[in-house]
A and B are shown apart, each in its own frame.
Chain A
Amino acid sequence: MSTSADVSALGIRRTQMRQAAGSFAKRHPIIQLVVVRVALGVLTLFAVSIVIFAATQALPGNAAYAVLGHGATPQRIHALELRLHLNRSLLSQYGSWMGGVLKGNFGTSLANNESVSGLIGGRIENSAVLVFAAGIIGSLLAGLLGLAAASRRDGWFDHIASVIALVITAMPEFNVAIALVILLAVNVAHLLPAVSTIPPGTHAWDNLKLLILPVATLAIVIAPYIFRMVRAAMIEALESDYVEMARLKGVSNRRILLVHALPNALPPIIQVVGLNLLYLAGGIVVVEYVFNYPGVGAALVDAVSNRDIPTLQFIVLVLTAFYVLVNILSDVIALMATPRRRAPR
């Protein structure tokens, strides 16, 4: 008797909870989105860590061979494998790494026996500065130009800007970087440093002069995509009925552009800015190489060639987390910029 009553009471409570949750989700679609996406993101990180670990096992050799290089005699390989615990089973290697991660310890680099987070932390900061500086500058620049082009559609400025954007889209960032170095550092004018070797122990923002060329390169590379999206979205908004209505009412051009059209054009723009941030996270590898900039790009290449699995895992997880975060953020912001999708249904 009492048990069945309990069960039915539990059943009722569960239904109530589900309804409550359902109505909560309806009332707070943003929070629901964030919760689900973060949970999926964590799952993604876990899956990625397994894939990376498995992939490194498919590569020939191990950290002992890679570190000793030209001096890799069998005796030295054997001694180093013992010291690095490379002779343990794969499962136990992965398990002890994962155990450390859950405690917030990302392990020790196989290449030089220092903590991975200490080793890579500075480089991640350097790369992050590059990505965000280029992202912000590139987006603002492209946004302004896009607004200007859309507001005088098919005018001379629109045509010139569109052609230039198309040309830059066709150029790989390597060429842009080299062109800037030739123009501003080495051959034509000697205004800026040709390489951006941030001294270890200093922050990227302490060396503004060294940042100019790599940031400029990346900003130039992403700007055309954002420019084209801003232009297209604004043109679409400017052709809408409510803009026509505003014009008929005699609202100023400037107010139409910024208050009526721009907010409605924002969602696709936010998405393309997000996409370009993600692109930058990969695109910096080339730019870091050209400018000898100490970022994650070189560290990632090093980690692969050194078979330095803990370092590789750490960098890949940070990059994955960045992808997940930017995706969530751009969806959330786009949602917030779309009142009709945000309202409770």
Chain B
Amino acid sequence: MSVITRRTFLDGAAKGGLALGAGSLIAACGSSSSSSSPGTTASSSTTGATGTPKHGGTLTAGLTGGSSSDTLDPNSPVNNTDYARVANLYESLVWLNAAGTPVYRLAKEMTPNSNATEWTIRLRDGVTFHNGKPLTADDLIFSIHRVLNPKAPGEAASALAGIKAGEIKKLDKLTIRVPFSHSYSTFIETLAANITVYLVPVGFDPKMPVGTGPFKYKSFTPGQQSVFDRNENYWNSPLPYVDSLVMTNFEDETSQVNALLSGQVDVVNLLSQDTINTVTGSGKKVVISPGGGWNPFTMRVDQAPFNDVRVRQAFRLLVDRPKMNDVVFGGHGTLGNDVFSIWSTEYDHSLPQREQDIEQAKHLLKAAGQADATFQLTTADIAQGVVNMAQVFAQQASAAGVKVKLNQVTVTDFYGPNYLKWVFAQDYWYYQAYLAQVSQATLPKSPYNETHWNDPHYTALYQQALAQNDSAKRDEIAHEMQKIDYDQGGYIIPFFPPVIDGYSPKVGGIIQSKVGSSFNDWNFEAMYKMA
């Protein structure tokens, strides 16, 4: 069968059958001074179950999403197709391999000082940009400054906010030292996430999108299509395999799947579980990945009724998680426990699995004086399955006698002036390590603190973790924080949704991945065409 389930995937991974992270795992190596362990190659994912990889041919991808605001600027990818293009033109210092572990990519080594207030970054030698210019420390400094530019801050600006931009020092041709205004032991994990710093040459202009990535720019029409050519001088040879990569936007899943079935595209991404049978029944394949991305329900802890922890806990107990997973994702998701970053080494698997408990939920709501209240849940079609999750939630709540009214808005309205202000809504996140995720979501200063979480003890724990270079000690602190998330947090995380991608059997090099975005984070360089 072409469908690989999560179970077989995990078995395979355990037996070493899948090439998860052939590159050295930065964070998992050793318990102390983990971050300074040497990393090697970033290629992690080229074990196709079928045949040996070969060069040549054109790979056509039908990708969901995109609009006329599509961009090639590595500073501001917004939708799926943006991320796909950016991840193939440019590269970051580190990235997540298929197991969700950070590995070096353009960095040769990243070393913190004793309290992680200063990081020394050495670049990989012998890397050239698409225009032939060698990658140097100056380019790295330029790229960091470009993200931090106050006139056009990049998406990663908040993750780099602690950098003392004026004091970055070039040590030699390939090495820089970056001082921070505070300890930042999780710098590597943060940069490895989806929101990152892509390296561009000094003087970069998005109209001439030059990077070091496996593919180089040929043409791009926003909202329609991009054509990239193989980077013949890619440092990580023999990758990439195909000569040309064509990515076409699709608005509608039906036409996306039709294009795959009629052979007009080789791969399609982010399918719903309803189309799995259509695809496999027509001789095509699907890969179902146990993604670490998450689609939470977000409850604002500073607003009634969710400022009462009993209401939040009651709502968490209302959810029949396995049922919701079955209905929305055919059971392919991984059950969640209201704590994010399930594949992170920092994740505490010892917390008991939360299950539906209607009696307790009703008891808590009654105690909070909310037994007869009507709750409004704002939802929008922001990611695969999100609206369905809201519908199932409303049904499960009403079956328990709790009235939840859906307020479905357009995606643009959702991200309009009320974004991050909705009292009870939803969101989607790609996977990142726990503490890196905390910096984005659950600190008073987090850019996307949608639950308005502001717990001084929690924040203090985070600060301690940042000063801690010993990853085992960081894990301990992270577990303590997760206990707080679990007992009081503003998120409901019923499960971690699967990533379902479809492909033609003529394409090799497609693997499962935990990173939560399609094709092992748009890893088209590992794909090859079979004759």
Check A69–B78 contact: CB distance below 8 A: yes
Residues of chain B lying within 8 A (CB to CB) of residue A311 = 68
Check B415–A197 contact: CB distance below 8 A: no
Say how far B218's CB is from chain A's closest CB, in angstroms. 11
Please give the number of chain B residues whose Cβ is less than 8 angstroms from any Cβ of chain A in the complex: 52
Check A61–B155 contact: CB distance below 8 A: no
The docked-state distance in angstroms from the alpha carbon of A308 to that of B67 is 11
- Find A194's partner among B222, B223, B248, B255 (CB 8 Å cutoff): B255
Secondary structure of the B side of the interface? Answer: loop
- Find B448's partner among A73, A75, A305 (CB 8 Å cutoff): A73
Is there a chain A Cβ closer than 8 Å to B151's Cβ? yes
Residues of chain B lying within 8 A (CB to CB) of residue A29 = none
Check A186–B262 contact: CB distance below 8 A: yes
- Look across to chain B and name the residue whose beta carbon is closest to the beta carbon of A185: B262
The docked-state distance in angstroms from the alpha carbon of A71 to that of B157 is 11
Interface residues on A, range: 35 or more
Chain A CB within 10 A, most for which of B78, B256, B410, B415 = B415
A67-B78, A68-B415, A195-B262 known; A305+B158 contact, CB < 8 A: no
The 0/1 profile, CB within 8 Å of A marked 1, for residues 416-438 of chain B is 11111000000110000000000
Is there a chain B Cβ closer than 8 Å to A317's Cβ? no
The docked-state distance in angstroms from the alpha carbon of A178 to that of B155 is 40
Check B259–A71 contact: CB distance below 8 A: no
The docked-state distance in angstroms from the alpha carbon of A101 to that of B195 is 39
Residues of chain A lying within 8 A (CB to CB) of residue B254 = 178, 290
Is there a chain A Cβ closer than 8 Å to B225's Cβ? yes
Check B264–A79 contact: CB distance below 8 A: no
Check B252–A61 contact: CB distance below 8 A: no
- Look across to chain A and name the residue whose beta carbon is closest to the beta carbon of B383: A70
Segment 239-292 of B: residues with Cβ below 8 Å from A = 248-252, 254-256, 258-259, 261-264, 282
Check B262–A193 contact: CB distance below 8 A: yes
Say how far A303's CB is from chain B's closest CB, in angstroms. 7
- Find A70's partner among B224, B258, B261, B415 (CB 8 Å cutoff): B415
Check A306–B153 contact: CB distance below 8 A: no
Check B255–A290 contact: CB distance below 8 A: yes
Say how far A130's CB is from chain B's closest CB, in angstroms. 16
Residues of chain B lying within 8 A (CB to CB) of residue A292 = 248-252, 255-256, 259
- Find B67's partner among A61, A79, A305 (CB 8 Å cutoff): A305
Is there a chain B Cβ closer than 8 Å to A65's Cβ? yes
- Look across to chain B and name the residue whose beta carbon is closest to the beta carbon of A75: B153
The docked-state distance in angstroms from the alpha carbon of A80 to that of B149 is 12
The 0/1 profile, CB within 8 Å of B marked 1, for residues 61-93 of chain A is 100011111111101100110110000000000
Is there a chain B Cβ closer than 8 Å to A104's Cβ? no
Residues of chain A lying within 8 A (CB to CB) of residue B223 = 294, 298-299, 302
- Find B417's partner among A61, A112, A181, A185 (CB 8 Å cutoff): A61
Say how far A123's CB is from chain B's closest CB, in angstroms. 9
Residues of chain A lying within 8 A (CB to CB) of residue B420 = 72
Residues of chain A lying within 8 A (CB to CB) of residue B46 = none
The 0/1 profile, CB within 8 Å of B marked 1, for residues 82-114 of chain A is 110000000000000000000000000101101
Comparing B69-77, B181-189, B503-511, the segment that makes contact with chain A is B69-77
Residues of chain B lying within 8 A (CB to CB) of residue A128 = none
Say how far B75's CB is from chain A's closest CB, in angstroms. 10
Is there a chain A Cβ closer than 8 Å to B411's Cβ? yes
The docked-state distance in angstroms from the alpha carbon of A114 to that of B224 is 15
Is there a chain B Cβ closer than 8 Å to A200's Cβ? yes
Is there a chain B Cβ closer than 8 Å to A250's Cβ? no
The docked-state distance in angstroms from the alpha carbon of A65 to that of B416 is 5
Check B67–A83 contact: CB distance below 8 A: no
A111-B67, A194-B264, A298-B251 known; A73+B447 contact, CB < 8 A: yes
Which A positions have Cβ atoms within 8 angstroms of B?
Answer: 59-61, 65-73, 75-76, 79-80, 82-83, 109, 111-112, 114, 119, 178, 181, 185-186, 190, 193-195, 197, 199-201, 289-292, 294, 298-299, 302-303, 305-308, 311
